[in-house]
Amino acid sequence: MSTPLLEVRDLTVHRGDLEVLKSLSFEVKEGEIFGLLGPNGSGKSTTFSVLMGLLPAVSGQFFFNGKEVEGGSKALLRSMGIVFQNPSLDQLMSARENLEMSAKLYRLPRQKRRDRIEELLRFSDLIDRADERVSNFSGGMKRRLELARSLIHDPKILVMDEPTTGLDEGAFQRTWRRLLRLRKERGLSILLSTHRPEEAAFCDRIGFISDGKLVVCDTPSSLQSQVSGDHLNINLKSPEQAAMILKSELQLEPIITDGQIKLTADEGHTLIPRIVEVLPQGSITSINMTRPHLGDVFLHLTGEKLAEESV
Amino acid sequence: MNIADQWATISVLWGRDLSRFLRKPSRLVGAFMQPIIFWLMIGGGLTSTFKIAGAESLNYEQYFFPGVVVMLVLFAAIFGTITVIEDRHEGFLQSVLIAPGSRSALVLGKALGVSSVGLIQAIAFLALAPMAGFTYLSIDWLNLFFFLLLGSVALSTFGFALAWWLDSSQAYHAIMSIILIPGWILSGAMFPINHDNVTLSWIMSCNPMSYIVDGVRRSFYDELPLGTTVSNSLLTDLLVVIGFTLFSLVWANVIVTRSK
Whether the pLDDT of residue B29 is over 90: the answer is no
pLDDT for res A131: 95
Q: Is the dihedral of CA B209, B126, B141, B154 positive or negative?
A: positive
- Return the top range by mean pLDDT from A15-24, A90-99, B19-28, B82-91: A90-99
DSSP letter assigned to residue A133: B
pLDDT top residue among B216 and A223 = B216
Determine the pLDDT at residue A168: 84
Tell me the average pLDDT of chain B.
Answer: 90
CA-based nearest residue in chain A for residue B88: A88
> Number of residue pairs across A and B with CB atoms under 8 Å?
70
DSSP chain B: --HHHHHHHHHHHHHHHHHHHHT-HHHHHHHHHHHHHHHHHHHHHHTTT---TT-TT--HHHHHHHHHHHHHHHHHHHHHHTHHHHHHHHSTHHHHHTSSS-HHHHHHHHHHHHHHHHHHHHHHHHTTGGGGT--GGGS-HHHHHHHHHHHHHHHHHHHHHHHHHH--HHHHHHHIIIIIHHHHIIIIISS---TTSHHHHHHHHH-HHHHHHHHHHHTT-SSPPTT--SSS-HHHHHHHHHHHHHHHHHHHHHHHHH--
Q: Are strands A80-83 and A205-210 parallel, antiparallel or unpaired?
A: unpaired
For the cut 80, the answer to whether the pLDDT of residue B236 exceeds it is yes
* Low-confidence spans in chain A with pLDDT less than 50: 309-311
Rounded (10°) angle between helices B60-81 and B25-46: 150
User: Under an 8 A CB cutoff, do A149 and B95 touch?
Assistant: yes
Q: What is the pLDDT of residue A311?
A: 38
pLDDT of B206:
94
Coil, strand or helix at A184? helix
Q: Are strands A18-28 and A255-257 parallel, antiparallel or unpaired?
A: unpaired
For chain B, percent of residues with pLDDT exceeding 90: 66
Instruction: Supply the pTM of this predicted model.
Output: 0.83
Rounded to whole angstroms, the maximal C-alpha distance in chain B is: 59
Cβ-based contacts of A98 with chain B (< 8 Å): 92
The predicted pLDDT at position A57 comes to 87
Residues of A within 8 A of B8 (CB-CB) are: 104-107
B208: how many CB neighbours lie within 10 A of its CB? Answer: 19
pLDDT beyond 70 at B260? no
Strand partners, A83: A160
Chain B from 32 to 91: CB within 8 A of any A CB: 89-91
Chain A residues near residue B16 by CB distance under 8 angstroms: 90, 93, 101
**pLDDT of residue B91 exceeding 90:** no
Instruction: Give the count of alpha carbons within 13 A of B253, CB side only.
Output: 12
Angstrom distance (rounded) from CA B218 to CA B233: 9
The predicted structure's pLDDT at residue A1: 60
**Rounded Cα gap, residues B68 and A92, in angstroms:** 29
